[in-house]
Amino acid sequence: MRLPQSRFQSPARAIHYLIVTTSLLLAVVSTNAQSASSQLVANPRNVRFGTMTLRQTETVGVSLTNAGSTSLTITAVTTSTPEFSVANLSLPLILAPQQSVEVNLTFLPTVAGWATGTFAFVTTPASQTLYIGAGGVGLISESMTPSPASLGFGNVSVGATATLPITLTNSGTSYIRLTQVEMTGTEFTASGFTFPQIVSPGQTFTFKVTFAPQLTGAASSSLILPNAGLTIPLTGTGGSTAAGQLVIAPAPLTFGNVTVGTQALQPLTMTANGASVTVSSAASSSSQFVLDGASFPFTIAAGGKVTLNVAFTPQSSGTSSGTLSFVSNASTSKAVESLSGVGISPTYSVSLSWNGMQGVAGYNVYRSMAANGTYAKINPSLEANTTYMDNSVTSGQTYFYAATSVNSSGEESARSTPPVAAVVP
């Protein structure tokens, strides 16, 4: 039998993108008002637990008093959030007129960040319900990681604005509940938050900070995320003439897995804020990352955008990283973009096929590293079809193949000649 020319198959390159939508959110403790005519009263009416490490319990005592002239019975207690509970109350509980009882309320945080809830004490015979508001903060040792760790806006004209991005990453192993963002001063504002939000481990997202100077001179502020234990310094200068701000997105730029020796492209967007920006040159720290088709210098109009393509061509397997540095007349004259990608080794297969024969039980496939060398059977069991895929080949090698037929008695024919050569790239 004759083997036709071999066909090579190599898996397609896969580029992975991570698109994360994020928001950080303001939580306000809301407690139901206690009716002025309620017979059961609490002291205090609202409970503020402290900051607790996750899965550690804090207990606060509350005094419940029957302020009426007749007895009442506490028949049930419910909480709006499972992180809050009542520790030492056995129901039903009868309280005589003016009698008080001390009840322990507990907080057991399971998610980092600000948690709110209510305790509802149901009484009879008046079917009244006493509500006690509660709040507390769960704390983990890991905090959100900002990139960059601080923002410098440079010179911005009074009356103009400049906006820069910040990327946050939950690099820990616990969930973090973000409930608010705090800003000192009035010249800096943050946008892109929707509160509250639970941020899962490994989640990355980007929000924006805007600088709108009201007076000439240096200005500073801090962006604070209390639940994440994070403070980001902000600086800028109000001036009569502002240089533009060069904003690069996404930051960082990640290529994912790319087959060694092949090229992957990712878009990079550059935006000029506040004033036009002229980009005069760019340099890469690694030959594996290059700008594709960029021509310098070029000018981006105020508020305008330019999209460039960055090419990643891994030269070996494993993770690679680098930076692109852009020189411009922006307030920050040198902008740096971080780059990363993973090179993966290519894999190859040899696809074999041959003409079938009547009255055979199956076929065997043999392979050798030389045409006249020693041949070894590579199919683990008798092949019923007239095709075979050899997935155990190595790049840069030449293989020789032959096939035999086997009848129902187990008798095997001689190997097909001449052997077929397959050169793996």
> pLDDT of 338-388, one tens digit each?
999 999 988 899 999 999 888 899 999 999 999 999 999 999 999 999 999
More confident residue, 224 or 404: 404
Return the exposure string of 335-352: e unless at least 16 CB atoms fall within 10 Å of the residue's CB, then b: bebebbbbbbebebbbbb
> Do residues 267 and 182 both lie within one domain?
no
Q: Does 31 reside within a domain?
A: no
The neighbour count for residue 57, using CB atoms within 10 Å, is 12
Return the pLDDT at 42: 94
> Do residues 184 and 117 both lie within one domain?
no
> Do residues 301 and 222 both lie within one domain?
no
> Do residues 125 and 72 both lie within one domain?
yes
- Tell me the pLDDT tens digit for each residue of 90-108: 899 999 999 999 999 999 9
Tally the domains of the chain.
4
- Tell me the pLDDT tens digit for each residue of 158-214: 778 888 999 888 887 777 877 788 887 789 999 988 888 788 888 888 889 999 988
**Residue that terminates a domain, selected from 106, 139, 172:** 139
The three-state secondary structure class of 219 is: strand
Percent of the chain with pLDDT over 70: 89
More confident residue, 247 or 230: 247
DSSP tag of 32:
P
**3-class SS letters over 254-297:** EEEEEECCCCEEEEEEEEEECCCEEEEEEEECCCCEEEECCCCC
The three-state secondary structure class of 37 is: coil
- Token representation of residue 70: 């007749």
> Do residues 104 and 155 both lie within one domain?
no
> Do residues 306 and 356 both lie within one domain?
no
Mean of the pLDDT values across residues 257-279? 91
Going across the sheet that includes 182-183, the strands are 151-157, 230-239, 217-225, 182-183
Return the pLDDT at 395: 86
Return the pLDDT at 156: 80
Please state, in angstroms and rounded to a whole number, the distance separating the CA atoms of residues 367 and 372.
Answer: 11
> Does 412 score more than 70 pLDDT?
yes
Please state, in angstroms and rounded to a whole number, the distance separating the CA atoms of residues 117 and 115.
Answer: 7
Q: How far is CA 256 from the centre of its chain?
A: 14
> Do residues 336 and 356 both lie within one domain?
no
- Token representation of residue 301: 């109009």
> Do residues 111 and 154 both lie within one domain?
no
Mean of the pLDDT values across residues 230-240? 83
Please state, in angstroms and rounded to a whole number, the distance separating the CA atoms of residues 147 and 375.
Answer: 58
Q: Does 103 reside within a domain?
A: yes
Beta strands in 54-99 (DSSP E): 58-66, 72-79, 84-86, 93-95
Mean of the pLDDT values across residues 313-323? 95
**Residue that terminates a domain, selected from 347, 381, 413:** 347
Bridge partners of residue 417, in order along the sequence = none
- pLDDT mean across residues, the chain: 84
> Do residues 261 and 343 both lie within one domain?
yes
Q: Does 30 reside within a domain?
A: no
List, in order, residues 6 or more apart from 295 with CB less than 8 Å away: none
CA distance readout (Å), 420 to 369, 406, 417: 11, 20, 8
Q: Which domain holds residue 303?
A: 243-347
**Residue that terminates a domain, selected from 215, 242, 269:** 242
Grade residue 242 by pLDDT with cuts at 50, 70 and 90. Answer: low
Beta strands in 184-229 (DSSP E): 188-191, 197-199, 204-211, 217-225
Half-sphere exposure of 374 (CA within 13 A, CB side): 1
> Do residues 259 and 306 both lie within one domain?
yes
Give the CATH number of the domain where residue 68 resides. Answer: 2.60.40.10
The three-state secondary structure class of 227 is: helix
> Do residues 148 and 200 both lie within one domain?
yes
Please state, in angstroms and rounded to a whole number, the distance separating the CA atoms of residues 295 and 219.
Answer: 36
> Do residues 309 and 357 both lie within one domain?
no
Grade residue 32 by pLDDT with cuts at 50, 70 and 90. Answer: very low
